[in-house]
Structure 1
Amino acid sequence: MTVRYLLDTNICIYIAKKKPLEVYQRLSELVVGDVGMSLITLGELRFGAEKSQNRDIALEKLNRLVNYIPIILPSEKTAEKYSQIRGFLEKKGQPIGNNDLWIAAHALSLNTTLVTNNTKEFIKVPDLLVENWVNL
């Protein structure tokens, strides 16, 4: 599946909550197939739902989100990008979180733009296209 945008965990949360509104509005401007979420993002979202005080409600919201935004599986190319990025960032002494590293690698392997509100981490990754839909 080819997508224009890979959504980071925080953006998926904003979409599910419909807050901030500009994120949800930006999504509504796109067509089906423009966006997807990484399996790694799904794992982070499921973890958050599982530990929620309102677990059942959180899982229900997540299921609705997954019905709306396709899950994209990592590939061997994702693993290749992961090793390259990790090596580069470690040499520079600028590591990022492990899941963020995988999500960045996934976006690079798809040659797509990562949408996140965590630009501080992701701008460290060379050649990664990053957009922030918050405060557009």
Structure 2
Amino acid sequence: MARLIDSSVFITLERRGSPIGALANVTPARDEFVALAAITASELLTGVEQADSQDRRATRQAFVESVLSLMPVLPFDLRAARMHARLWAELAARGLPTGAHDLMIAATAMARGYGILTDNLRDFMNIPGLDVQQPDW
């Protein structure tokens, strides 16, 4: 199954000082297609902008730019918007609020029949029909 990779996975790799190539070792199926949602790219770029020192900013920017140059970034398009609206309404009716970014990432994945690879299962656990996996650290 193809998967979108959540920012939590990239954050863990960056904090460990792992190269982006290490990502190939943590996906559940080593040969599956992986990409990131545009909102994930925004989250990673926000991390660069919020760095607490110039050194950290430079290190983080190099890491994020390597991710963005190597991986496809999928847009939040009309298919994803329709999926997002359906999921939001269903979760709201069940009293299960979900973070706006997480729901947009999930909708981007589900609109394409993809799953999610995340280090934060709880962020996605209430989303019906979403295949969620953790990395094999």
- Indicate the residue corresponding to 1:18 in structure 2: 18
- Indicate the residue corresponding to 1:40 in structure 2: 39
% identity of equivalent residues? 22
After superposition, the C-alpha distances for 1:35-62 in whole angstroms (9 at most, x for unaligned) are: 1000000000100111012222211211
**Structure 1 residue 30 corresponds to structure 2 residue 37:** no
**Structure 1 residue 58 corresponds to structure 2 residue 60:** yes
- Indicate the residue corresponding to 1:6 in structure 2: 4
Deviation at 1:23, TM superposition (A): 5.6
What pairs up with 1:78-93 in 2 under 5 angstroms?
78-93=80-95
SS in 1 for 2:132: strand
What TM-score comes out, normalization by structure 1 length?
A: 0.84
SS in 2 for 1:110: coil
Give ranges in structure 1 of 5+ residues lacking alignment: none
Give ranges in structure 2 of 5+ residues lacking alignment: none
What TM-score comes out, normalization by structure 2 length?
A: 0.84
CA distance in 2, matches of 1:18, 1:24: 11
For 2:109, the aligned partner's letter is: A
For 1:5, the aligned partner's letter is: R
Residues 15, 24 of structure 1: 8 Å contact kept: no
Deviation at 1:88, TM superposition (A): 0.7
After superposition, the C-alpha distances for 1:85-129 in whole angstroms (9 at most, x for unaligned) are: 111111111111110010011111110110111111212011111
CA distance in 2, matches of 1:78, 1:5: 15
Deviation at 1:73, TM superposition (A): 1.3
SS in 2 for 1:6: strand
